[in-house]
């Protein structure tokens, strides 16, 4: 992501927030639906290497700052992927087969439908009031959210997003 110009990346924010994109021309404008899943990747530095000294850490921060906080807040799942060794790359990988994954998705959607009742929107389209109604946080979940917001410096926008970011 940081390899793209900041202005290019910022053009993604409005469609992600509104679920639509507007094309404006001299003779008028047209709106199109734009519900999409953004999958993006970024290295810690332009070279891809993790920093190991204070100078490298500052360079890393400058590199990561190319992506704005409000745009990062629009991304629901953040996952850090560790480096993979040659041995891991060349070993026989085992993973979840498509049939099992499909079953998990169907089961999750059934739980969502049961929880959300007559609301046929997927979880990602529920507003703040609907989230409050359908998914009350218990005390331990509220504490975890508080710790994440404090430790990660999350904004009010991140707190009230639909859904809140999942950090893995």
Which residue, 48, 66, 51, 58, is CA-closest to 1?
A: 66
pLDDT at 10 over 80: yes
pLDDT at 127 over 70: yes
Contact 134, 115 (CB under 8 A): yes
User: With bands split at pLDDT 50, 70 and 90, how would you rate the model's confidence at 161?
Assistant: low
- Report pTM: 0.57
Which residues have C-beta within 8 Å of that of residue 18, sequence separation ≥ 6? 34
Contact 51, 60 (CB under 8 A): yes
Which residue, 77, 79, 74, is CA-closest to 34?
A: 74
- Per-residue model confidence (pLDDT) at position 165: 43
């Amino acid at each position: 992501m940081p390899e793209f110009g900041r202005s290019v990346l910022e053009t993604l924010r409005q469609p992600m927030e509104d679920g639509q994109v507007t094309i404006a021309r001299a003779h008028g404008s047209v709106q199109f639906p734009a519900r999409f899943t953004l999958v993006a990747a970024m290295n810690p530095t332009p070279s891809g290497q993790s920093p190991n000294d204070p100078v490298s850490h500052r360079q890393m921060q400058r590199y990561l700052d190319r992506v704005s906080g409000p745009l990062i807040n629009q991304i629901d799942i953040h996952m850090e992927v560790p480096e993979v060794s040659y041995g891991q790359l060349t070993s026989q990988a085992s993973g979840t087969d498509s049939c099992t994954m499909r079953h998990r998705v169907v089961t999750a959607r059934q739980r969502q439908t049961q929880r959300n009742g007559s609301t046929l929107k997927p979880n990602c389209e529920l507003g703040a009031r609907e989230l409050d109604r359908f998914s009350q946080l218990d005390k331990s979940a509220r504490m975890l959210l508080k710790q994440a917001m404090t430790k990660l410096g999350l904004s009010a926008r991140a707190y009230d997003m639909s859904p809140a970011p999942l950090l893995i």
